Amino acid sequence: MFVLLCFQSGPASLTTEDLSTNANGPKQASLFDDDPDDLFAEATEEVSLDSPDRDVLLSDGPSPAITPMTPPTSVITPRIGHAHDDMFTHSSFDEFCCVLWLNVVFLVPGDGMNAYMAYKVTTKTSMSLFKLREFSVRRRFSDFLGLHSKLASKYLHIGYIVPPAPEKSIVGMTKVKVGKEDQSSNEFVEKRRSALERYLMRTVKHPILLKDPDVLQFLESSELPRAVSTQALSSAGLLRMVNKAADAVNKMTIKMNESDAWFEEKQQHFENLDVQLRKLHASVESLVLHRKELSMNMASFAKSAAMLGNSEDHTALSRALSQLAEVEEKIDQLQQDQANADFYFLSELLGDYVRLITAVKGVFDQRMKTWQKWQDSQMMLQKKREAEAKLQFNNKPDKLQQAKDEIKELEMKVQQGERDFEQISKTIRKEVGRFEKERVKDFKSTVIQYLETLLQTQQQMIKYWEAFLPEAKAIS
Amino acid sequence: NLLCPGARCGANLCRLMSIRSVSVDLNNDASLLIDIPDALCERDKVKFTVHTKTTLSSFQKPEFSVPRQHEDFIWLHDTLVETEDYAGLIIPPAPPKPDFEGPREKMHKLGEGEATMTKEEYTKMKQELEAEYLAVFKKTVQVHEIFLQRLSSHPILNKDRNFQIFLEYDQDLSVRRKNAKEMFGGFFKNMVKSADEVLISGVKEVDDFFEQEKTFLLDYYSKIKDSTAKAEKMTRSHKNIADDYIRISSLMYQQKITRILIYTHIVVTMSFVSLQKVEGRVASDQELKLTELLRYYMRDIQAAKDLLYRRARALADYENSNKALDKARLKSKDIPQAEEHQQQCLQKFDKLSESGKKELTSFKGRRVVAFRKNLIEMAELEIKHAKVRSSIQLYYICFIMCTNELQYAWGICKILCEQI
């Protein structure tokens, strides 16, 4: 059926041969569909709708996404880059091979609030788009925001899902600027670095966006004009907020006659997904918090147990209690690492997708706007035609010519409106398909990495308790 | 009814009882065997069924059962403490009052928040709370049972008349309890609590053994009290995490999200997370072992300290009687009474010291044995569960990588769920 691999140490020895035997196994539906509310009866159908994509999905099956077990300390952030190493091997279906990562972060000094954090962006690629195979540039946070706003203004209105940039955090950044060298500001910097890395990777994974000159410039050129309109509380920022609000109001008043069932279904789908993901995200954030609490409580218990061990006058029991304290302290450290993993793998992933879904919904809104524009120009045309008929009736030849010219213009506008609408619909269909596919890959690789951390935690726990056991048995 | 299941847990209880949370030297002497096979929870009151099997002729029947309430246990404990003859013994600590406040409050909150959560989530949380309730119930029954078994295994205490009444008297004990309260009025307890540390540390100790014990017990008590509190905090954190997992897994179980996400990996994550829920509860059970061990010995050490207190008081009485004798000799008045009184005090003090020494030595042995057993069991459980969890995680990882076939996903998840 499927290979049950039973070994105690890490799965680093899993080879693609072991796995490929069952990746495309025949559908043995009879064995497992005894479940009355089989949630996935529909699921297989839905996957098969995008039949070319399904083949791609299957061939991705034995993905070498399992990276060799990395020690707990470095497993903090998901390397989306690693997960897409398979891009290099699967280049047959896509000429797209570009991997990048962000590291080496340093604070560029300046007076007070003028100081900023610089990130080093390193790109490694085999594409001819770029001048070099491997290169690095220095960027600051506002550069990323600037990139996003440029891409959004260019591509959103024609239906491309532009990945959203990480959010500003004035409080977090201020602490870092003020030079507070503590745990929370380190965590903040790491969180931001990781978020920026994921943002950039998502952007370059988009085949159209990658080729955009702004993106190329961002990745390659050593100097970048300072993005001005992204400053917090700037007038441009206020203007954008106002525009967003106006958009929201408009959306409520557009009543579109949806003729395409696909769009109606997908919109509902994304609405639901939005709600569910937000709830899930909130729960995972709560989990992270509680795990951090657990770690704190374990640490304080360990100290207390150590003191109890010192106080104990029976020698062997005293030693055992001290050992217990040590084990609890080590496990506390494990729990802390686990909390980080919970956070970076699950919580941040969900947060990213909540924002991405908002971008997807934005794209659907753009389609509605496009439709509205088309309808508006159609209505205008109608009006003008009526006006023309009236003019003809009243026999006003000079105004008639003007009207006819206007009509011709409007007809072209209507045609363009229709073309735009069809184009955006087509683009969105492709984009949504691509989005869903990416989402699978993303969740899959992140879940695997998360499970690996959990597995590692468990195995460490086994080691610690097995070391403790003889101490407990030695009490007499 | 959200507030109290009103469950009679006969069968469940017997099964759960096989995993004792704290091990104490239970009665191996077949002449007097006591257990609590059944308990009923009605509103705030728990009614225990105390079952006795005996070969002793002092009892009217060889086997019998009586219903008892928590207050009856407290009455028994208090009368033993206030019996002069037992001043030199460590009286087993009274079982704590059944405390369902925690799960009850949570149930209340759950009821209030019912509108905001899905049916699935609500059901799961309710189940979890019911399990918690049951755990508290089980714990309180054990603690009451252990109290009685400590008494039955003590060569002197098991012959106590009131103990026999407690076991045998088939009427309501509340009348007797009321009389006792009127007699003592809880006065002794208050006295002990406030004067405790001062008197014990203030008295000049003549005996090396007791000097050492005093120092040790006072220090150990404060340390173990602290450890108990910290262990309880750990357990609470574990419970919070388990609750989070329930919420996460129920969100993922929802039809909509699984249909929408429809990806094997998410299904697997979902089932995995629900396993984690079980892990959470299991982890907290293990910690309960540690917490319960510490809590039990904290109370036991308090009982040992009470013994030291009584002895210190007897010593103080003796010293006072010496002073009174000297005074009487000076004044040449009431000398024989003073001499008599001094002799009584000395005898009482010597008796307490002798019996106290025996009690404290056996107490140490008991403590070491119990700690050993519980620490070993806890470590073994941790290892077993970590092994199960890690092999399941391994399965999941292989599984995610192996297949995109969704119908396998559900089946495998079910199989793995059964493993726990």
A43–chain B Cβ distance below 8 A for any pair: yes
Q: Which residues of B touch A273 (CB under 8 A)?
A: 257, 260-261
Q: For B98, left (φ over 0), alpha (ψ -120 to 50), or beta?
A: beta
Q: What is the distance of C-alpha A65 from the center of its chain?
A: 18
> Which B residues, 340 through 369, put their C-beta within 8 Å of a C-beta on chain A?
364, 368
DSSP letter string over A29-92?
HHHHTT-TT-TTHHHHHHHHHSHHHHHHHHHTSS-TT-PPPPPGGGGSS--HHHHTTHHHHTTT
Whether residue A130 lies within 8 A of chain B, CB to CB, comes out as: no
Look at residues A166, A154, A294 and name the one whose alpha carbon lies nearest to residue B243: A294
Which one of B263, B393, B407 has the shortest CB-CB distance to A33? B407
User: Is some CB atom of chain B closer than 8 A to the CB atom of A469?
Assistant: yes
Strand B32-42 with A116-125, pairing:
unpaired
The span from the CA of B26 to the CA of B160, in Å, is 18
For residue A33, give how far its alpha carbon lies from the nearest alpha carbon of chain B (Å): 7
Interchain pair A283, B244: CB under 8 A: yes
Among the partner-chain residues B376, B383, B403, the one whose CB lies closest to the CB of A2 is B403
Residue B247 identity: R
Residues of B in contact with A8 (CB under 8 A): 390
How do residues B363-374 score in pLDDT, each as one tens digit?
988 889 889 988
Q: What is the chain B residue with the closest CA to A43?
A: B262
Q: Identify the helix (H) or strand (E) that includes residue B63.
A: strand B63-69
Six token digits for residue A451 = 């499970």
Contact A464, A457 (CB under 8 A): no
B16-37 pLDDT tens trace = 333 344 444 555 667 888 989 8
A66 touches B at CB < 8 Å: yes
If you ran DSSP here, which 8-state letter would residue A345 be given? I
Interface residue A30 vs chain B (CB under 8 A): no
- β-strand A134-140 against A116-125: which pairing, if any? antiparallel
Task: Record the tokens describing residue A401, joined without a space.
Answer: 């010519």
Which ipTM was obtained for this model?
Answer: 0.80
| Smallest Cα distance from B218 to chain A, Å | 10
Residues 255-294 of A with CB under 8 A from B: 269, 272-273, 276, 279-280, 283-284, 286-287, 290-291, 293-294
Does residue B56 sit in helix, strand or coil?
A: coil
Nearest CA-CA partner of A441 in A86, A74, A181, A26: A86
- First-to-last alpha carbon distance for chain A, in angstroms, is 50
Is the minimum CB–CB distance between A69 and chain B shorter than 8 Å? no
Predicted confidence at residue A299, as pLDDT, reads 92
Q: How far apart are CA B32 and CA B62, in angstroms?
A: 9
Q: What is the mean pLDDT of chain B?
A: 77
pLDDT at B304: 92
Radius of gyration of chain B (CA): 27
**Partner-chain contact B255 A39, CB within 8 Å:** yes
Q: What is the DSSP letter of B45?
A: E
Residue found under tokens 């009052």:
B97
The pair of structure tokens assigned to B167 is 């076991």
From chain A, the residues in CB contact with B394 under 8 A are 5, 7, 11, 455
Indicate if the pLDDT at residue B391 is higher than 90. Answer: no
Contacts of A13 (CB under 8 A, 6+ apart): A7
Show residues of chain A in contact with B287, CB under 8 Å. none
Q: Please name the member of A297, A321, A459 whose beta carbon is closest to the beta carbon of B390.
A: A459
The tokens describing B189, both together, are 């307890």
Residue A435, amino acid: F
Residues of chain B contacting A459 with CB distance shorter than 8 Å: 386, 390
For B268-309, how does the pLDDT look when each residue is reduced to its tens digit (9 = 90+)?
555 555 556 555 666 666 667 788 889 889 999 999 998 988
Angle (deg, nearest 10), helices B264-331 and B187-202: 80
Of A139, A129, A125, A141, whose CA–CA distance to A218 is shortest? A139
| pLDDT confidence of residue B116 | 76
Which of A19, A35, A444 is nearest residue B410 as measured by Cβ atoms?
Answer: A35
Distance from CA of B348 to the nearest CA of A (A): 29
> Can you list the domains of chain B with their CATH numbers?
23-177 (3.30.1520.10), 207-419 (1.20.1270.60)
The two tokens of residue A360 are 């997807």
Is A476–B372 a contact, with Cβ atoms under 8 angstroms apart? yes
Q: Given this model, what pLDDT does residue B303 score?
A: 92
Q: Give CA–CA dist B282/A415, Å, rounded.
A: 67
How many Cβ pairs closer than 8 A exist between chain A and B? 226
- pLDDT the model gives residue A401: 82
Token look-up 């104490």 returns B24
C-alpha span between B200 and B311 (Å, rounded): 9
Judge contact between B328 and B334, C-beta under 8 A: yes
Contact between B386 and A462 using a beta-carbon 8 Å cutoff: yes
Cβ B248–A280 below 8 Å, yes or no? yes
Count how many Cα atoms sit within 13 Å of the Cα of residue B254 in the half-sphere of its side chain.
22
- Subunit contact A308:B223, Cβ cutoff 8 A: yes
Q: What angle do CA A339, A340, A341 make, to 5 degrees?
A: 90
**Which domains are seen in chain A, by residue range?**
261-475 (1.20.1270.60)
Sequence length of chain A is: 476
Q: Output the CA torsion B353→B354→B359→B361 (10° steps).
A: 100
Render A294-310 in DSSP notation, one character per residue: HHHHHHHHHHHHHHHHH
A17: which chain B residues are within 8 Å (Cβ-Cβ)? none
| Residue-wise burial string across A304-318, b where 16 or more C-beta atoms lie within 10 A, e elsewhere | bbbbbbebbebebbb
- Name chain A contacts of B402, Cβ cutoff 8 Å: 2-3, 19, 22-23, 61-62
| Inter-chain touch B260–A276, beta carbons under 8 Å | yes
Q: What is the pLDDT of residues B32-67, one digit of tens each?
A: 889 898 888 776 678 899 999 999 888 899 999 999
Residues 402..441 of A with a Cβ closer than 8 Å to B: which? 439-440
The pLDDT-based confidence of B80 (bands split at 50, 70, 90) is: very high
pLDDT at A91: 32
pLDDT of residue A406: 85
Residue B138 near residue B252 (C-beta atoms within 8 A)? no
Residues in chain B closer than 8 A to A469 (CB atoms): 376, 379-380, 383
Summarised one tens digit per residue, pLDDT across range B213-250 is 888 999 999 999 999 999 989 888 887 887 787 777 77
B241·A287 Cβ contact <8 A: yes
Q: Which two tokens stand for residue B54?
A: 């005996």
Q: And the tokens for B70?
A: 């928590």
Inform me whether the C-beta atom of residue B87 falls under 8 Å from chain A C-beta atoms.
no
Report d(CA A191, CA A174) in Å as an integer.
15
CA distances from B242 to A51, A110, A423 (A): 40, 47, 49
Measured between alpha carbons, how far is A425 from B251 in angstroms, rounded to an integer? 32
User: Which residues, 6 or more positions from B302, have their beta carbon under 8 angstroms from its beta carbon?
Assistant: B93, B221
Of A63, A65, A454, which is closest to B393 when you measure between CB atoms?
A: A454
Question: CA-to-CA distance for A106 and A118, rounded, in angstroms?
Answer: 5
Q: Give yes or no for B265 touching A (CB within 8 A).
A: yes
Cα gap A417→A119, rounded to integer Å:
43
Q: Report how far apart, in Å, the C-alpha atoms of B200 and of each of A194, B216, B364 are.
A: 61, 12, 19
Q: Report the helix count and the strand count for chain B, using DSSP H and E.
A: 12, 3
Query: Residue A136: phi, psi to the nearest 5?
Result: -130, 150
Q: Which of B293, B405, B406 to mutate to test the interface with A (most CBs of A within 10 A)?
A: B405
For CA atoms A48, A49, A51, A57, the dihedral sign is negative
Q: Which residues of A touch B248 (CB under 8 A)?
A: 280, 283-284, 287
Q: In this structure, what token pair is assigned to residue B151?
A: 């008494």
- For residue A377, CA distances in Å to A371, A383, A384, A419, B72 come to 10, 10, 10, 13, 89
Q: Are A435 and A360 in contact (CB under 8 A)?
A: yes
What span, in angstroms and rounded, lies between the C-alpha atoms of B265 and B273?
A: 12
**Closest of A434, A421, A386, A426 to residue A406, by C-alpha:** A386
Identify the burial level of B374 via C-beta atoms within 10 angstroms of its C-beta, where 0-12 means exposed, 13-18 middle and 19 or more buried: buried
Q: Which of residues 352-381 of A touch B (CB under 8 A)?
A: none
List chain A pLDDT tens, one digit each, 476 residues.
Answer: 222 222 222 233 333 333 333 333 333 333 323 333 333 333 332 222 223 333 322 233 333 332 222 222 333 344 433 333 333 333 333 345 667 776 656 666 666 667 778 888 888 888 877 888 888 888 888 889 999 999 988 888 888 999 998 888 777 667 666 665 667 777 788 888 888 888 988 898 888 888 889 988 888 888 777 766 555 444 444 555 656 666 666 656 666 777 788 888 888 888 888 888 888 889 888 988 888 898 899 999 999 999 999 998 888 899 999 999 999 889 888 888 887 777 777 788 888 999 999 999 989 989 988 988 898 889 988 888 888 888 888 877 777 888 888 888 888 999 999 999 999 999 999 999 999 888 877 877 777 777 778 778 888 888 999 999 998 898 87
Distance from CA of B349 to the nearest CA of A (A): 26
Q: Residues of A with CB below 8 A from B218's CB?
A: none
> Higher pLDDT residue, B114 or A317?
A317
Q: Does B99 touch chain A (CB under 8 A)?
A: no
Distance CA(B290)–CA(B300), nearest Å, equals 15
* B105-131 burial code (b ≥16 CB/10 A, e <16): ebbeebeeeeeebbebbbebbeebbee
Tell me the three state secondary structure of residue A315: helix
Q: What are the residues facing A116 on neighbouring strands?
A: A108
Asked if residue B358 has pLDDT above 70, the reply is: yes
Which residues touch A175 (CB under 8 Å, ≥6 apart)?
A184, A185, A188
Distance CA A192, CA A214 (A): 22
Q: Do A23 and B402 touch (CB under 8 A)?
A: yes
Segment B175-210, tens digit of pLDDT: 666 666 555 555 455 455 545 566 666 667 778 888
Number of neighbours of residue B207 by Cβ within 10 angstroms: 14
Query: Taking a C-beta distance cutoff of 8 angstroms, is the pair A84, A205 a contact?
Result: yes
Q: Which residue of A has its CA nearest to B268?
A: A447
Residue B310 confidence (pLDDT) above 70: yes
Q: Which residues of A touch B240 (CB under 8 A)?
A: 290, 293-294
Tell me whether residues A447 and B265 touch, CB distance under 8 A.
yes
- Ranges assigned E (strand) in B145-297: none
